[in-house]
């Protein structure tokens, strides 16, 4: 959903799942009461609104299902829209949206952590994507409308209510970790029902620009010990200037044999995998340290700051500076 997909701080997606709460201030108070250590990637709450709200922008993905009453919804992406039972609203992160109820308006809102949503997108399109970092670029390709009103119809919307109610109940109970799979299955059922109504582009429009990588295809089978040895060597010394000859000697295979064995195990050649391992380590260093881009590049084995920055951008879809600011 254009640039909105880049925000990942997820403050509101950690918020409340309170039945009957229509006050956004209570949402923030609930979060403060829980503390910063409490976080779940899926939450839901049912609210009845009697007064104008917003506009608010959340840094998570929101699905709002209208259950009773009506309202005027407004956003720069679709202007003013009249919403009523049978409608659902899908909002990407960072989308400003407000509402004015016509008397009252009862909705159930599902909040999805952005990283969680992108992870689901990755596994849905794993034949197209090489790495989770590519999910940002694919989301921008698929979801070019950051805010959409989905005309489900009252009958189909009614099918969602039992799942939504169960999701709200679990959220009110604190979203217990031992019920996460249940919450995930409830969300999957909801998503499956609304998917045909979401306007998207074809995933074939996505151009994978990851450096020298092929699509990821894996078989569920034991890893060859030679592949595991090479993987362990790479991860133990990312900054080393590895060659296929070095790695082939570790595995006691020819370079051609190693390329085939490693690709069968990890879905890509050793040197292509090394690029991704370095990008992942760069991501960690950007999150956890104050090292400069040049220092991070050196730490993962790239001598050129510009080469490291460009490789990071091609792999993730964003620059190191943008990633660090998120």
Structure tokens at 136: 């940002």
The tens digit of pLDDT for each residue in 137-158 reads 666 666 667 888 999 999 999 9
Q: What is the pTM of this model?
A: 0.59
Do residues 147 and 89 lie in contact, with contact meaning Cβ atoms separated by under 8 Å?
A: yes
Lowest mean pLDDT among 37-51, 149-163, 274-288, 296-310: 37-51
> Taking residues 202-231, what's their average pLDDT?
62
Statement: residue 22 has pLDDT above 50: no
Q: Which residues of 265-299 are buried (b: 16+ CB within 10 A; e: fewer)?
A: bbbbbbebbbbbbbbbbbbebbeeeeeebeebbbb
pLDDT at 238: 93
Lowest mean pLDDT among 164-168, 248-252, 278-282: 278-282
pLDDT at 219: 57
pLDDT at 78: 82
pLDDT at 221: 61
pLDDT at 108: 95
> Is the previous residue joined to 55 through a cis bond, with omega within 30 degrees of 0?
yes
Give residue 1's pLDDT band: very low, low, confident or very high (50, 70, 90): very low
Among candidate residues 17, 92, 109, 28, the one with its CA nearest the CA of residue 57: 92
Statement: residue 199 has pLDDT above 50: yes
pLDDT at 136: 66
Distance CA 114, CA 57 (A): 14
Q: What are phi and psi for residue 295, nearest 5 degrees? A: -70, -40
pLDDT at 123: 75
- The answer for 67, left when phi > 0, alpha when psi is -120 to 50, beta otherwise, is alpha
Statement: residue 202 has pLDDT above 90: no
β-partners of residue 97 are 56
The tens digit of pLDDT for each residue in 39-94 reads 788 899 999 999 888 677 777 889 999 999 999 888 878 888 899 999 999 988 77
pLDDT at 119: 80
Distance CA 160, CA 195 (A): 13
The residue among 197 and 53 whose pLDDT is bigger is 197
pLDDT at 165: 96
SS3 111: strand
The tens digit of pLDDT for each residue in 228-275 reads 899 999 999 999 999 999 999 999 999 999 999 998 887 789 999 899
Distance CA 62, CA 197 (A): 15
DSSP 121-150: HHHHTTTT-SSTTHHHHHHHHH---SEEEE
Statement: residue 19 has pLDDT above 60: no
pLDDT at 270: 94
Domains of the chain and CATH, by start = 2-205 (2.60.120.810), 225-325 (1.10.10.60)
pLDDT at 23: 45
């Amino acid at each position: 959903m254009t640039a909105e997909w880049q925000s990942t701080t997820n403050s509101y997606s950690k918020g409340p799942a309170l039945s009957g709460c229509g006050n956004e201030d209570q949402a923030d108070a609930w979060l403060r009461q829980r503390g910063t250590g409490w976080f779940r990637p899926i939450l839901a709450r049912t609210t009845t609104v009697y007064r104008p709200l917003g506009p608010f922008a959340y840094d998570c993905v929101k699905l709002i299902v209208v259950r009773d009453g009506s309202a005027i919804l407004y956003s720069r992406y679709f202007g003013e829209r009249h919403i009523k039972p049978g409608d659902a609203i899908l909002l990407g992160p960072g989308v400003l949206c407000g509402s004015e109820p016509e008397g009252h308006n009862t909705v159930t809102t599902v909040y999805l952590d952005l990283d969680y949503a992108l992870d689901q997108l990755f596994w849905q399109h794993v034949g197209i994507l090489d790495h989770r970092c590519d999910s940002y670029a694919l989301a921008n390709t698929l979801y070019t409308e950051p805010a959409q009103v989905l005309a489900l119809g009252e009958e189909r919307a009614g099918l969602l209510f039992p799942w939504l109610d169960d999701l709200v109940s679990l959220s009110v109970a604190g979203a217990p970790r031992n019920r996460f799979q249940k919450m995930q299955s409830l969300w999957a059922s909801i998503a499956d029902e609304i998917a045909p109504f979401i306007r998207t582009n074809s995933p074939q429009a996505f151009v994978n620009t990851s450096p020298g990588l092929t699509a990821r295809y894996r078989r569920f089978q034991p890893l060859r010990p030679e592949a595991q040895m090479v993987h362990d060597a790479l991860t133990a010394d990312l900054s080393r200037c590895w060659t296929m000859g070095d790695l082939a000697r570790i595995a006691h295979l020819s370079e051609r044999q190693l390329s085939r064995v490693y690709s069968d195990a990890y879905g890509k050649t050793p040197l292509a995998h090394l690029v991704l391992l370095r990008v992942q380590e760069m991501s960690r260093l950007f999150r956890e340290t104050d090292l400069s881009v040049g220092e991070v590049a050196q730490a993962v084995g790239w001598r050129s700051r510009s080469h490291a920055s460009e490789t990071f951008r091609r792999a993730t879809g964003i620059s190191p500076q943008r990633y660090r600011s998120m």
